[in-house]
């Protein structure tokens, strides 16, 4: 057996509602799988959630629910940490120090800030410096790998950049983290517009499947998924984005290859194929839903408390190195 220490992975999720099938197959299922090979820290980023309008009365329920979903889909607090960002003051403290190294010009290029303000969110300083806090999340824990979606690549580049600036100025404190997009992460598209990514849209509930949806809802949604009029099941994202998306979903849920599925379903017509896809999704999500229902909020709080305590302990040691490097001494 090798005694090499495991590499550390860190990722964060905002406490915003039930994840959909795209979040699950694209990200969270991998978070659970990665636990066997990596030292994993997962953080519910409530301080980030405050950068856009939110209701204080709803935040606690959202934090607990997000943790409950993550535990249900297999995050194991015996092996990994799962806590909320605000429990560990090191996140905000390190963000301040990193902000002194962050050129405004870099932040001015952030597409997510532009997207959010264009979408009508008020432009506050926190929203603008969002990437600095995200860099602090990752660097606080000296993460090597960061499982993130494509939309976070730019923020990860900023994280690497600010880590290098810090190391050049103050000495080698931070490992330079890398984005990590596991091969098994599926790219799930909208069921009503398969050229766009699946997202939570209240105006288009039929576009997505929540991971806690009832089997009948799942079946209905897949059955009504937009496809095309050529009746052959084959993979072609240009000509047949709807069918390709369903193939992708089924492959991810069954761990079978797309070729293998095409061979079985090519000529059987869309009806039976869609039914098979729906059953695969129902089967994949059933244990998550059962585990979610079995968990009590009190148990979830206990996990957060304990993980938060461990994360705080770790961070205090790490932050001492940072303070020493920047010339701040404790008394
Ligand atoms: N910005 C990420 C998102 O919206 C969430 C996040 C915050 C994060 N801090 C992080 C992701 C650190 C990875 C690592 O998805």
Mutate to test the pocket of ligand 1, among 152, 156, 200, 311 (most ligand atoms within 8 A of CB): 152
- 271 CA to centre of ligand 1 in angstroms: 39
11 lines ligand 1 (CB under 6 A): yes
pLDDT for position 306: 98
CA-proximal residue: ligand 1, atom 8 (nearest) = 12
Among candidate residues 114, 116, 274, 310, the one labeled active-site is 116
148 lines ligand 1 (CB under 6 A): yes
- Helix (H), strand (E), coil (C) string for 181-220: CCCCCCCCECCCCCCCECCCCCCCHHHCCECCCCHHHHHH
Q: Measured from the CA of 143, which atom of ligand 1 is nearest? A: 14
pLDDT in tens, 26-77: 999 999 999 999 999 999 999 999 999 999 999 999 999 999 999 999 999 9
16 lines ligand 1 (CB under 6 A): no
Tokens 């870099």 sit at which residue? 106
3-class SS at 233?
A: coil
Rounded to whole angstroms, the Cα distance separating 148 from 182 reads: 9
137 lines ligand 1 (CB under 6 A): yes
DSSP state letters, 131-168: HHHHHHHHHHTT-SEEE--GGGHHHHHHHHHHHHHHHH
- What are the b/e assignments for 55-73, b being 16+ CB within 10 Å? eeeebeebbbbbbbbbbbb
315 lines ligand 1 (CB under 6 A): no
HSE-up of residue 61 (Cα within 13 Å, Cβ side): 7
- 11 CA to centre of ligand 1 in angstroms: 6
Mutate to test the pocket of ligand 1, among 8, 48, 139, 157 (most ligand atoms within 8 A of CB): 48
- 36 CA to centre of ligand 1 in angstroms: 22
Q: Is 274 annotated as catalytic?
A: no
Determine the average pLDDT of the residues in 273-296. Answer: 97
Q: Is 310 annotated as catalytic?
A: no
Determine the average pLDDT of the residues in 208-217. Answer: 96
Would you say the C-alpha torsion 249, 257, 284, 61 has a positive or negative sign? Answer: negative
Residue 200 CB partners (closer than 8 Å, separation 6+): 17, 20, 208
Determine the average pLDDT of the residues in 140-155. Answer: 93
- 25 CA to centre of ligand 1 in angstroms: 17
Which stretch of 71-85, 186-200, 279-293 has the lowest confidence by average pLDDT?
A: 186-200
At residue 233 the predicted structure's pLDDT band, cuts being 50, 70 and 90, is very high
CA-proximal residue: ligand 1, atom 11 (nearest) = 12
pLDDT for position 263: 97
Question: Does residue 1 carry a pLDDT above 70?
Answer: no
Determine the average pLDDT of the residues in 184-212. Answer: 89
Determine the average pLDDT of the residues in 164-181. Answer: 96
pLDDT for position 181: 83
Query: What percentage of the chain reaches a pLDDT higher than 70?
Result: 99
Q: Measured from the CA of 147, which atom of ligand 1 is nearest? A: 13
At residue 287 the predicted structure's pLDDT band, cuts being 50, 70 and 90, is very high
CA-proximal residue: ligand 1, atom 13 (nearest) = 11
Q: Is 206 annotated as catalytic?
A: no
Rounded to whole angstroms, the Cα distance separating 261 from 150 reads: 27
**Mean pLDDT of all residues belonging to the chain:** 95
Mutate to test the pocket of ligand 1, among 126, 134, 177, 200 (most ligand atoms within 8 A of CB): 134
pTM: 0.93
Question: Does residue 2 carry a pLDDT above 70?
Answer: no
Which residues of the chain form beta strands (DSSP E)? 8-13, 39-44, 81-84, 145-147, 178-180
250 lines ligand 1 (CB under 6 A): no
Determine the average pLDDT of the residues in 197-213. Answer: 88
C-alpha distance across the termini of the chain, in Å: 43
């Amino acid at each position: 057996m090798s005694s090499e220490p495991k590499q550390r992975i860190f990722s964060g999720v905002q406490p915003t509602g039930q994840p959909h099938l795209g979040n699950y197959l694209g990200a969270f299922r991998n978070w659970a799988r990665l636990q066997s090979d990596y030292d994993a820290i997962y953080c519910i980023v409530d301080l980030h959630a405050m950068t856009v309008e939110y209701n204080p009365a709803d935040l606690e329920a959202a934090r607990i629910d997000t943790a409950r979903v993550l535990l249900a889909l297999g995050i194991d607090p015996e092996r990994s940490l799962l806590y909320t960002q605000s429990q560990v003051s090191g996140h905000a403290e390190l963000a301040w120090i990193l902000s002194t190294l962050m050129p405004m010009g870099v932040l001015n290029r952030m597409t997510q800030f532009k997207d959010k303000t264009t979408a009508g969110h008020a432009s506050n300083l926190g929203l603008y410096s969002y990437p600095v806090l995200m860099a602090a999340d990752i660097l606080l824990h000296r993460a090597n790998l960061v499982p993130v979606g494509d939309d976070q690549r730019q923020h990860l580049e900023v994280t690497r950049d600010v880590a290098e600036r810090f190391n050049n100025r103050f000495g080698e404190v931070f490992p330079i983290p890398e984005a990590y997009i596991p091969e098994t992460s599926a790219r799930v598209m909208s069921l009503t517009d398969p050229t766009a990514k699946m997202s939570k849209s209240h105006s288009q509930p039929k576009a997505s499947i929540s991971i806690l949806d009832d089997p009948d809802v799942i079946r209905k949604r897949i059955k009504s998924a937009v496809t095309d009029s050529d009746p052959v099941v084959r993979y072609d994202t240009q000509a047949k984005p709807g069918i390709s998306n369903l193939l992708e979903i089924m492959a991810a849920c069954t761990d079978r290859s797309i070729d293998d599925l095409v061979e079985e379903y090519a000529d059987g017509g869309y009806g039976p194929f869609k039914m098979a896809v729906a059953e695969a999704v129902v089967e994949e999500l059933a244990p998550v839903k059962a585990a979610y229902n079995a968990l009590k909020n009190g148990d979830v709080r206990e996990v957060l408390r304990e993980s938060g305590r461990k994360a705080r302990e770790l961070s205090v040691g790490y932050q001492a190195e940072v303070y020493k490097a920047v010339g701040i001494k404790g008394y």
